[in-house]
Structure 1
Amino acid sequence: MSSHWISIYALVGMFVLATVLPINMGVIAFVGAFLVGTLVAGMNAKAIMGGFPADLFLTLVGITYLFALAQNNGTIDWLVRLAVRAVRGRIAAIPWIMFMIAALLTAVGAVSPAAVAIIAPIALGFAAKYGINPLLMGLMVVHGAQGGGFSPISIYGGITNKIVAKAGLPLNEIATMLASLGVNLSVSLLLFFLMGGMKLMRQRANADGSAPVVPRTSHGQSGAQVYGDAEGESFPEERRTAARAENSLMESAPAEAADPGSRAYRIATVAGLLALAVLTLFFKQDIGFVSITIGLVLTLLAPNLQKRALGQVSWPEIMLIVGVSTYVGVMDKMGTIDFVGHSVAGLTSPMVAALLLCFVGAVVSAFASSTAVLGSLIPLAVPFLQGDSGVGAIGFIAAMAVSSTIVDVSPFSTNGALVLANAKGVDRDVFFRQLMVYGAIVTLAAPVVVWLLFVVL
């Protein structure tokens, strides 16, 4: 067996092991990089660490740190209240408000499970109160989070764009962002009308009913679901963490948020998020350094309030991403990336090869980590995309991005598990089967649809 196949089988084994056992895939990937690099490729530790993505590490730390600050000081709660207040009794608008808030959170840097952990308990509480289909509401939250997930300053967007830029492929950040938003928005619109949206449009909240009480988000460090990517964690832990988040969400507003200067501080936080977008998008500043700088300024304004933020950085997410990226770096130095690319390019039809890669991304991501899929499959496709195969790199990246993330509605993923755990007034077994069937449909249909839209057409 060649060294290339050994490294490929090791990567597959990592996905399987991280799916079956509650072990962070990043830990497995670091060990894999060490063992494969030394025993198979004859590399020393310095050469192996050459694949460590320092810039991506800084980006992830900076963004998640800034987002933890925004959550701690009540900015997220405040924005949710403002958005829900705009409903003014229009029940049909509530699912769309939740969609937009979830999309906004991931667009400005929240990891998708964090956004869903924050919004799902609120959204499903509204669903129970106003008679909205809980499956519709849960799916709207997940698709919203995935829809905003590929903005240039988001986690998914940062990972994808850095990998593509490093590979020297054509880069169109806006195209990937709009592809994800457009597909998730279209799916949500279809779901809205299939699951009772027309009925909701004819209803309004009772005139004597008080405005919905927007629960607060959890400020405790109760697990990776809230502040990190727990896609590599076990399913039971997902449900336990989500339940803890739901209980704390239903409590009254925290004492810190009642501080007299809290409103001004929240405005400063929103200004900081806007500054992050402007500096990174228009002035091309490094998102990692900018986000940490803004976070430091906000921390200096209220050091006691924000002292927990560093502990709330998404360390499981970061460990997973940098571990997989380091292993892929070892594969690249071994020549495995070129080997796979040329093998795929040698298939009868390049278009079929692109479709197969989209299917692999969707199936693996439905059970494992979307971030790990993006970090490993895109580099494997680089030689194939660089060749004269007739498959456009921009379209393929968009298709891979969407097919690898839209499947997170599966109840076996963190987002789907959070929706299941927070659903109210439902038969859990029935609701689980509904999520599983929907997840299976999306896993099978999404790769074909995005392949047709972004690769073939």
Structure 2
Amino acid sequence: MAVTALTSITVLALVIVLATVSPVNLGALAFVAAFVVGGIMGGEPTRDVLGDFPADMFVMLVGITYLFGIARSNGTVDRVIERTFRAVRGRAAALPWVFFGLSTVLCGIGGNPGAVAVILLPVGMAIASAHGVRPLVVAITIGMGATAGTFSPLGVLGITIRGIQTGNGLAFDPILLFVATLVAGVVAAGAATVLIGSARPVAVSPDPVPVQVRPGGGAGTGPASDPRPCAGLGIERSVTLAAFVVLVVGALLFAVDIGFLALSLAVLLTLAYPAAGRAAVRDVSWGVVLLLTGIVTYVGVLERNGTIAWAGEAVASIEPALLAALLVCLIGAIVSAFASTMGMLVALVPMTAPLVLTGEVSAVGLVIALGISSSLVDVSPFSTCGALAMANAAEPERRSVYRGLLAFAASVAVIGPLGSWAVLVATGWF
């Protein structure tokens, strides 16, 4: 058993390293690893290798990112961003928090954090430079907002963790997960603005630079073709916003399946407005879908060959269980600074089950602490958000942005696990 488990874990480590240093999607590598470890080495038929393919998560991610893609394609996202910027009206110090709020909302309604970063960071860095706001602070607040939003009940990681917890028979509280990560994001962003200093005393124009977001991602900050105040939402955008209201109400109040509801709303919008729907299909986060389904399928192979049980018992053997929980959070933080946060959570969360079974650790508190620990580091220069921030920083500021993001990520890689573990796990309150 130990040989099989160590081999399987080594393959998982190789998959993560290869995905980090090469352009190959982590999920694609994980599917290959599942076939090699489960099919070739374990002798499982293909049907069994794919036995843990997460069909429910597939529908949820496709449905929600499809719906979000329609909102981005038809300009609904543009209008929300423009109107939010206009609400600032000269308050430079408020800009980082405007970006935080936008990032939280966009990720909270199902936006892929990477796609949201592509939308917000180019315009954010440009507006920061133009209006005396430190670009480093804007980059951090966008990243922390994404962390808060993506753990919402409709967010990508919120959906992912719910699927893992319920699939493993572990307790789960979606509202507490969102509230805790939101608080962690606000605290981290607030600490950054205080310690770094958010803005120089330069006034912000009451008519900010209009945002131009292309359907395929990316944004421009040049002059818009029409300098007049932004037009009304219009029928199509109003209907799109109404679809999100229906999604939230249906999922949270009436317990309608989120994935199928989002997919149904997206299909109805596509039938009504085909142009936006066609563009949105290309904007579905297929890379994220491939990553999640691949790593979950491989973890299923590890569960069947006893690797998860072996690793969980090894972790549970560390005394006391609270110390083992802290080590899991630290591992998640350190590795996620360089690799996929989703991949880390999918791999680590099932290994926490033996700790929960000891009765010394809460399933809800531990998974939230692990989520916070693994996601606060997502602004590291080696992550998508961090790399985009550096790419969009002005040349004279690029080095300072790199150093600042590195220092921030290194700090939260230690403070995040310690703080979340102390509050959510060690106290036993959750």
TM-score by length of 1: 0.89
Matches within 5 A, 1:210-249: 211-220=207-216, 226=217, 245-246=218-219, 248=220
Give 2:344's match in structure 1, choosing from 373, 384, 389.
Answer: 373
Are the aligned partners of 2:127 and 2:209 in contact in 1 as well (CA < 8 Å)?
A: no
Cα distance in structure 2, aligned partners of 1:253 and 1:27 = 42
Question: What secondary structure sits across from 2:304 in the alignment?
Answer: helix
Question: What secondary structure sits across from 1:52 in the alignment?
Answer: coil
Q: Which residue of 2 aligns with 1:437?
A: 407
Q: Which residue of 2 aligns with 1:181?
A: 182
Do structure 1's residue 90 and structure 2's residue 86 form an aligned pair? Answer: no
Cα deviation, residue 66, structure 1: 0.6
Are the aligned partners of 1:362 and 1:407 in contact in 2 as well (CA < 8 Å)?
A: yes
Are the aligned partners of 1:64 and 1:109 in contact in 2 as well (CA < 8 Å)?
A: yes
**2:224 counterpart letter in structure 1:** S
Cα deviation, residue 359, structure 1: 1.1
Do structure 1's residue 74 and structure 2's residue 75 form an aligned pair? Answer: yes
Give 1:382's match in structure 2, choosing from 344, 353, 364.
Answer: 353
Give 1:416's match in structure 2, choosing from 369, 380, 386.
Answer: 386
Cα deviation, residue 338, structure 1: 1.5
Cα deviation, residue 267, structure 1: 0.9
Are the aligned partners of 1:73 and 1:262 in contact in 2 as well (CA < 8 Å)?
A: no
Q: Which residue of 2 aligns with 1:346?
A: 317
Q: Which residue of 1 aligns with 2:32?
A: 31
Do structure 1's residue 400 and structure 2's residue 370 form an aligned pair? Answer: yes
Cα deviation, residue 171, structure 1: 1.1
Q: Which residue of 2 aligns with 1:330?
A: 301
Q: Which residue of 1 aligns with 2:261?
A: 290
Q: List gaps (5 residues or longer) in structure 2.
A: none
Cα distance in structure 1, aligned partners of 2:294 and 2:320 = 33
Cα distance in structure 2, aligned partners of 1:64 and 1:412 = 24
Give 2:224's match in structure 1, choosing from 207, 228, 252.
Answer: 252
Cα distance in structure 1, aligned partners of 2:234 and 2:376 = 36
Cα distance in structure 1, aligned partners of 2:265 and 2:371 = 29
Cα distance in structure 2, aligned partners of 1:85 and 1:261 = 14
**2:277 counterpart letter in structure 1:** Q
Q: Which residue of 2 aligns with 1:452?
A: 422
Between 409-418 and 432-441, the greater mean CA deviation after superposition: 432-441
Cα distance in structure 1, aligned partners of 2:23 and 2:381 = 16
Are the aligned partners of 2:92 and 2:132 in contact in 1 as well (CA < 8 Å)?
A: no
Cα distance in structure 2, aligned partners of 1:131 and 1:176 = 35
Cα distance in structure 2, aligned partners of 1:160 and 1:348 = 26
Q: Which residue of 1 aligns with 2:191?
A: 190
Are the aligned partners of 1:90 and 1:203 in contact in 2 as well (CA < 8 Å)?
A: no
Cα deviation, residue 383, structure 1: 2.7
TM-score by length of 2: 0.94
Cα distance in structure 2, aligned partners of 1:262 and 1:83 = 13
Cα distance in structure 2, aligned partners of 1:84 and 1:251 = 15
1:347-369 deviations in whole A, cap 9, x for unaligned?
A: 12111111111111111111110
Cα distance in structure 1, aligned partners of 2:276 and 2:171 = 43
Do structure 1's residue 264 and structure 2's residue 214 form an aligned pair? Answer: no
Structure 1 pair 253–345 and aligned structure 2 pair: CA distance change class (3 A): farther
Cα distance in structure 1, aligned partners of 2:210 and 2:353 = 46
Cα deviation, residue 196, structure 1: 2.3
Are the aligned partners of 1:77 and 1:217 in contact in 2 as well (CA < 8 Å)?
A: yes
Question: What secondary structure sits across from 1:368 in the alignment?
Answer: coil
Question: What secondary structure sits across from 2:150 in the alignment?
Answer: coil
Between 86-95 and 169-178, the greater mean CA deviation after superposition: 86-95
Cα distance in structure 1, aligned partners of 2:271 and 2:78 = 21
**2:343 counterpart letter in structure 1:** A
Cα deviation, residue 251, structure 1: 6.4
Q: List gaps (5 residues or longer) in structure 1.
A: 221-225, 227-244
**Count of residue pairs brought into register by the alignment:** 423
Report percent identity of matched pairs: 36
Are the aligned partners of 1:216 and 1:253 in contact in 2 as well (CA < 8 Å)?
A: no
Cα deviation, residue 212, structure 1: 0.6
Q: Which residue of 2 aligns with 1:110?
A: 111
Structure 1 pair 24–441 and aligned structure 2 pair: CA distance change class (3 A): same
**2:416 counterpart letter in structure 1:** A
Cα deviation, residue 450, structure 1: 1.1
Cα distance in structure 1, aligned partners of 2:129 and 2:232 = 35
Cα distance in structure 1, aligned partners of 2:223 and 2:74 = 16
1:51-73 deviations in whole A, cap 9, x for unaligned?
A: 10000011111111111100000
Cα distance in structure 2, aligned partners of 1:54 and 1:360 = 28
Are the aligned partners of 1:91 and 1:203 in contact in 2 as well (CA < 8 Å)?
A: yes
